[in-house]
Structure 1
């Protein structure tokens, strides 16, 4: 009797998901690596039936060199690191994670909005410098504080995350606008022309995918449309924003502030101009809007459910 050959599953960047995974229902072989360099991908996937990757690229060349590969389970929502055309041509199933961060990401974006509109960093610095202690009155004024209530939030992205962000904003008394797609010929019902939506924003928050159409979505021209006391929030993808243009806008007072959880290159091992300066109206966090324990567990559980479904011959969260 021939011995059953169990499907081989390889997780390329296990350290990107620092919590316990559910056990898979089907019998299998499991191999995981803390991290994987681009040069190591082919060797590690050579015999794999299923690859799990959060951010490790899987290119057409890798796919061609890995004849056993049948599924790629992306441990994230974004899948721009996977060559989908090559996967489709080979009949490789690609699945991603969906709608798992409906609490965590909007909460993080809200935190950045509040901190910037209410000048948290500026006033913290004033207290540390002893300015409140020397005030002639009971309080100390230095930077203008703006309430979220009564202000306008423009959202780019009307999917599950955008809708969750809208619900939080409305609960705080904000007016919510959904921006139509840039350069759209017609404005859909429930949306506002892209340029008008930017010009009306007190807060602009990005909740859209990164692709060829959204690369540098917010650049010099778009920032020039915004109010000079408006703030930009990006918890989506770094490539949506022209970082050079953003830095200039902050330095010359063209923009009130920016809160970023993402940069174009992550991690920024070779530096980043936005990290080289210290501004009271710029907050950068290290891509952790999704990293609340509840939110991460939602992602991890869905990842295993996607693989279980594939091994059972079912389709779940299929990209291609």
Structure 2
């Protein structure tokens, strides 16, 4: 079997191994693959391992022998599933491998908005503390989480992990979900309609997939419904947020802070509106929540298991 890894460097910059795939056939690893390079690289491929390569009908036509797309991601919006189904190509993903890591990043961002640890450390290392007149100083407001309400939009595995951390901090939790989820309620956690969540939450954290329905769900109108001085955190997908509306809300003071590990176009475009908000209470990281060594180990292990299951005629984690 001819297996082509199209974006090897993204998931494995050299600290992990692709050897688990070698038992299934010849493996060719490319660090990155552009659209212009794709046709040549998949011409003989039977299995393509990829993350952000766009698999539309044209791309699928370049791979006449392709039998499987093994995604190295949970999201699968890069694949035209109708075109893949028509071609008889199985598409698998890797669900839930980064749940603890995204929950961890959510609170890393939230805590940075509240305590500005990085900024204060930089001030210390620049010598500001050695010049201080008092034993302590702070350059930004410092916010306690206990008693503040966290609103979680999307109560899947990540949303539930975030809720557990919030409760450990003494935060009441409300959540909105596309369907009733009574099993997630209890111990200071309850489900409410999204409109109600927006009006009562001190922090709103997004944990829903990118779909036509969720595109720009946080826009000028929904931001206006939020509590004055609330903060917004996005560790899900950049397209959930109207970034210009967020910048406007930061400038006006409607939002007291915004943090994200994802943006609408990645890598970030030089004209992304968020870059206009430097100096506001904003934290943006380059989509790294998923990238811990432990999470990437799990990711590669599940990719290999997906390929193994396909070879055995029992495909798993199939998206359709």
- Give the TM-score normalised by the residue count of structure 1: 0.89
Matched with 2:10 is: 16
**1-structure distance, mates of 2:160, 2:26:** 40
Give distance in 1, aligned partners of 2:4 and 2:229.
Answer: 48
> Secondary structure of 2:27's partner?
strand
| Alignment correspondent of 1:33 | 30
Tell me the equivalent position of 2:200.
200
**What is the 5 A alignment of 1:296-307?**
296-307=296-307
Q: 1:188 to 1:26 in 2, by over 3 A?
A: closer
d(CA) in 1 for partners of 2:19, 2:161: 27
Shift of 1:20: 1.9
Correspondence 1:99 to 2:96: yes
Instruction: Tell me the equivalent position of 1:112.
Output: 109
SS in 2 for 1:108: helix
Sort the Cα spacing of 1:254 and 1:295 in 2 relative to 1 into closer, same or farther, 3 A.
same
Aligned length in residues = 310
Shift of 1:97: 0.6
Alignment of 1:187-226 (within 5 A): 189=182, 190=185, 191-226=191-226
Hey, what's the Cα distance between the residues in 1 that align with 2:294 and 2:132? 43
The 8 Å contact of residues 228 and 254 in structure 2, kept in 1 or not, is answered as yes
Offset, 1:270? 3.8
The answer to whether structure 1 residue 314 and structure 2 residue 314 are counterparts is yes
Task: Name the structure 1 match of 2:54.
Answer: 57
Contact 1:21 1:301 in 2 (8 A): no
Cα separation, 1, equivalents of 2:112 and 2:65: 50
The within-5 A match list for 1:168-247 is 168-181=165-178, 189=182, 190=185, 191-247=191-247
Give the superposition deviation at 1:137: 4.9
TM-align CA RMSD:
2.2
Q: Which residue of 2 aligns with 1:295?
A: 295
Q: Is the 8 A contact 2:43 2:62 kept in 1?
A: yes
- Name the structure 2 match of 1:4: none
Check conservation: 2:201, 2:226, Cα contact below 8 A: yes
Change (3 A) 1:128 1:31: closer
Structure 2: gaps spanning 5 or more residues: 186-190
1:61-100 alignment runs, 5 A limit: 61-100=58-97
Q: Secondary structure, in 3 states, of the residue corresponding to 1:228?
A: coil
Deviating more after overlay: 60-69 vs 288-297: 60-69
Give distance in 1, aligned partners of 2:2 and 2:122.
53
TM-score, normalised with respect to structure 2: 0.89
8 Å Cα contact 1:121/1:281 also seen in 2: no
Distance change >3 Å, CA 133–CA 251, structure 1 → 2: farther
Unaligned runs of 5+ in 1: 1-6
Contact 1:97–1:299 under 8 Å retained in 2 = yes
Distance 2:233 2:256 in 1: 11
Once structures 1 and 2 are overlaid, which stretch shifts more, 126-135 or 252-261? 126-135
